[in-house]
Amino acid sequence: VIVMTPIRRGQMTTMECVRTSSDNLDQNQIVHVATGVNQGIVIYKAIIDDKGAYSPLADSESEITYKCFVVNQDSNDVRAENRKLHFWFVPSAQKKVTSFLVQTSFMFFNDLITPGHVPKDYATFIKRVMRLMLLDKYNNISRIHLDVIPLDKNEAVFEGMEERDDRPLEVRVQEQLMRTIEEAYPNVLTTEELSKVIRQDEKLIVRILDQMLSEESIHRMAMEGKHKGKFAYVLRVAQDEENADLGMGKVEVMAEGNMDVITKMKDKPTVAIITNLMCEKRAVDAMMQDKTTYVRYETKGGDSHVYTIGFIGPHKCVSTKLPAVGRDRRAKIASGNTTTRLLGTFQDIEHVLLVGVCGSVCNLGDLAKSSRLGDIIIASPSREQDSAYIYCDNVDEDDSGQFSFSLKNWTIPDPSLMRKAASLVNEYGPSFENAPWNQLFAEVVSQLSDFARPEGVEDKVQMQLGDGQIIEIAPPSIDRAGNWPMVRLGPLGCGKPVVSDTYLRTAFADERGLLGYDTEFDQVLESILGNRCNSFLIVRACSDYHDGQKGNVWQPYASMQAAAFAKSVLLQLA
C-alpha cells in the first residue's frame, strides 16, 4: 500500500507518500482507506510541525524542483508555487548508477504532468502521485515527498507572461521595426508594409525610421514600377572594418539584372548554405574566409537576394539568407523561390547545408533524447523513423479522441554529409570536450561577443499543461561533462498544427521520435530536391523549447554553435 501523510511546516506543506505493507499500518493514524480504483491508498492524520522537529530521513536520492503557475482564465491573475519532489528508492535500486535513479525520477514526473491530463487540485494531484507509485514500473520507488511553498506576486512571473512595458512608445516601436527589417532582409519594406506589421500610425513609423537613418542602421531606397513615389527600407549591411575577417566581407550592391559578376566566375561555389535569421547568416559568414557579399535589392516589388561567396577549407561556398520563413502562404512560397533562384544561379552546387536554430523536444521520459539550449541536432533517420525531416500540415481527431497526423516526409538521398557528421559525433562524443567545433566557436566568439553563451539567463523549459497551468523547470543535465554542447542525430519535425499545441507537440514528438522542432522549411526542401540536389544536411542548434523562433536571447549563441559544427563537417569532406 501507499500511505500519504500531510506535514505542515509554516508556509511549506509536505505530502509524504511511503510504500509499506498492510501489516505495518498504524491503525491509530488512519483517517481514510481507499477502495475501488484507488485501492491500495491510505491517508494518515496530518502532522503540524511549526518547529521543524519532524525530519526522520537522510537526503533523498533524487530531486526535481520546478515552479508551478496557475493562471485564472477570467482575471488573468497568477498563483505561483515552488514545488520540489524528493525520491527514495528500494535497496535493490539504490545499487544502480545515479543516472538510473535520475531517469526513473524524470519518467515518473513526465507521467505526472502529461499535458491534458494534469490534476486540477491538490487532492487529485496527490492521488495521482500515489496511483503512479502503485504501478509495477515504479515499484522501485520507496518514498516520495512533495514540498509546496507559495511564492509572492513578485516571484509569480514566467517567461512569455505579458508584462507591462513602461518604456516610451518610440523605444518599443523602434525595437519592433529593427526586428522586422532584420527578419525581412534582404527584402525592402515600405512604410505602409511596416505600419501594417507593427500596427502603429504611419506618421510615427516615418519619424522613427528617420531617426534610424540618422543612426545609419538602415538604408532608404526609392521604389519603382507600381510602387514609384514610395520609399522602402532595408537593413544597412557594410564591411565591418574592426572584425573584417568575421563579417560579410566586401559588400557589393548589384544593379538589377546584372548577375554577370557572379555567373561568370571562373571558380564557382560547390557548397550552398541557407539560413533564415540574420544572426544565422552572420554566424555562417564568420566561418568563411576570403569572402565577398553581393546584394541585389528589388525595388519594383518581389524578392531581393544576398549571396556571400567565400571559402570554408578548400570548398568554395555561397551563403544566403531567406527573406522570411513564416507560416503564411506568401512567406513559404518566397522561401521556396529564393532556394530555386540560388540553385539556378549557382549551377555547380553539389551540397546544400541548412544551418541555424531550432526548438528542443525536452523528453523527460527519455533523458538521452533530451537536448538543452545550445545543443546541436543533425536531422537524420533513426531506428524508429526512416525520415530525417517530418512536416505535419494537419491534425484530425476522431470520435474516440485519437489523433491522426497528415504528414510530408523527407529522406536524404545522398547521405555523405550525414555520414561525416555521424563520424564526428562518434569520434568526439559523448563528452565533446575536444571537438574541433568547440575550438572554432571559441575563436570566433572571442572577437564577436554577441554570440557568446548568454550570461545570467537560466536554461528553463516552460510547459503549458492546460486549464491555465504552466510549469517551469530546469532540464536535467545527466551525463554531461561541463558546458560543452551535446550533439545528437535524429529526426526533426515542424508544422504549426503540432508546434502550437502543447499536448499535440508532445504526442507527435513521441510518435515520431523527434529530437527537435524546426520552423517550416518544407518548401525549401521541396526546392532542393526539385533541383536534383541530393546531398544536403540540416544542422540545427537549440535556441528554445518551441521551434527556434520564440525569443532571441539564445538565438545568436545557438546559431554560432550550428555554424561551427557545419564548418567541421565541410572540413571532413574530401
Q: What is the DSSP string of 192-240?
A: HHHHHHHTS-HHHHHHHHHHHHHTTSEEEEE--GGGTT-EEEEE-----
Cα–Cα distance, 79 to 289 (Å, whole number): 53
Say if strands 250-253 and 289-296 run parallel, antiparallel, or are unpaired: parallel
Distances (CA, A) of 242 to 246, 249, 292: 9, 11, 16
Say how far residue 403 (Cα) sits from the centre of its chain: 24
Cα–Cα distance, 318 to 314 (Å, whole number): 13
CB atoms within 10 A of CB 157: 13
Is 141 domain-assigned?
Answer: yes
State the total domains in the chain: 1
Cα–Cα distance, 497 to 505 (Å, whole number): 8
Is 404 domain-assigned?
Answer: no
Is 193 domain-assigned?
Answer: no
pTM of this prediction exceeds 0.85 = yes
Cα–Cα distance, 567 to 546 (Å, whole number): 26
Nearest to 509 by CA among 422, 412, 390, 428: 390
Which structural domain, as residue segments, surrounds residue 148?
Answer: 2-155
Cα–Cα distance, 519 to 505 (Å, whole number): 13
Is 243 domain-assigned?
Answer: no
Per-residue pLDDT of the chain (574 residues; tens, 9 = 90+): 999 999 887 788 889 999 999 999 999 999 999 999 899 999 999 988 766 656 656 688 899 998 888 766 666 667 788 899 999 999 888 777 777 888 899 899 988 887 666 666 778 888 999 999 999 999 999 999 999 888 886 665 655 555 556 788 999 999 999 999 999 999 999 999 899 888 898 999 999 999 999 999 999 999 888 878 889 999 998 766 556 678 888 888 887 656 677 877 888 999 999 999 999 999 999 999 999 999 999 888 778 899 999 999 999 999 999 987 445 666 777 888 899 999 999 999 999 999 999 999 987 777 777 889 999 999 999 988 899 999 999 999 888 878 889 999 999 999 999 999 999 999 998 889 899 999 999 999 999 999 999 998 888 887 777 666 778 887 776 666 667 899 999 999 999 999 988 888 888 998 999 999 999 999 999 999 999 999 999 999 999 999 999 878 999 999 999 999 999 999 999 7
Cα–Cα distance, 298 to 165 (Å, whole number): 36
Q: Which residues of 42-69 are buried (b: 16+ CB within 10 A; e: fewer)?
A: bbbeeeeeeeeeeeeeeebbbebebbbb
Is 399 domain-assigned?
Answer: no
CB 311 within 8 A of CB 270: no
In whole angstroms, how large is the CA radius of gyration of the chain?
Answer: 27
Is 195 domain-assigned?
Answer: no
Is 565 domain-assigned?
Answer: no
DSSP 8-state assignment for residue 569? H
CB burial of residue 91 (10 Å; 0-12, 13-18, 19+): exposed
CB 141 within 8 A of CB 104: yes
Is 128 domain-assigned?
Answer: yes
